[in-house]
Amino acid sequence: MNQDTNFDDLTEHFQKRIYGSRKGKIRLAVLQRDLEQHVPAWAKGGLKVIDVGAGLGQMGLQLAGLGHDVCINDISANMLAAAKQTACEQDIEKNIQWSHAPFQDLEAKPYDLVLCHAVLEWLEKPESFIAKLHELTHADSLVSLMFYNKDALVFHNLVRGNFKKINNNDFSGMKGGLTPPNPLQPTWVEDKLNQHGFETFYRSGIRVFSDYVGMKRGGNEHEADVLSMELRYSQHMPYVLLGRYVHVMCRRK
At 215 the pLDDT is 86
Nearest to 134 by CA among 207, 68, 195, 49: 195
Please, where are the H alpha helices in 98-148? 126-132
Q: Which domain holds residue 86?
A: 8-252
Is residue 44 domain-resident?
yes
What single DSSP character describes residue 124?
S
pTM over 0.85: yes
10 and 178 in contact (C-beta within 8 Å)? yes
**What pLDDT, on a 0 to 100 scale, did the predictor assign at position 176?**
56
Number of structural domains found in the chain: 1
- Residue 176 in contact with residue 10, Cβ under 8 Å? yes
d(CA 19, CA 67): 24
Does a structural domain hold residue 2?
A: no
Report in angstroms the alpha-carbon separations of 197 from 130, 134, 162, 166: 10, 8, 38, 33
Alpha carbons within 13 angstroms on the beta-carbon side of residue 39 total: 29
Query: Looking only at Cα atoms, what is the longest distance across the chain?
Result: 52
Judge whether 189 lies within some domain: yes
> How does pLDDT run along the chain (253 residues), one tens digit per residue?
355 655 555 555 555 555 668 898 999 999 999 999 999 999 899 999 999 999 999 999 999 999 999 999 999 999 999 999 999 999 999 999 999 999 999 999 999 999 999 999 999 999 999 999 999 999 999 999 999 999 999 999 999 999 998 999 887 765 655 778 899 999 999 999 999 999 999 999 999 999 999 888 999 999 999 999 999 999 999 999 999 999 999 999 9
CATH code assigned at 241:
3.40.50.150
3-state secondary structure (DSSP) of residue 251: strand
The angle at the Cα of 62, spanning 73 to 12, to the nearest 5 degrees, equals 60
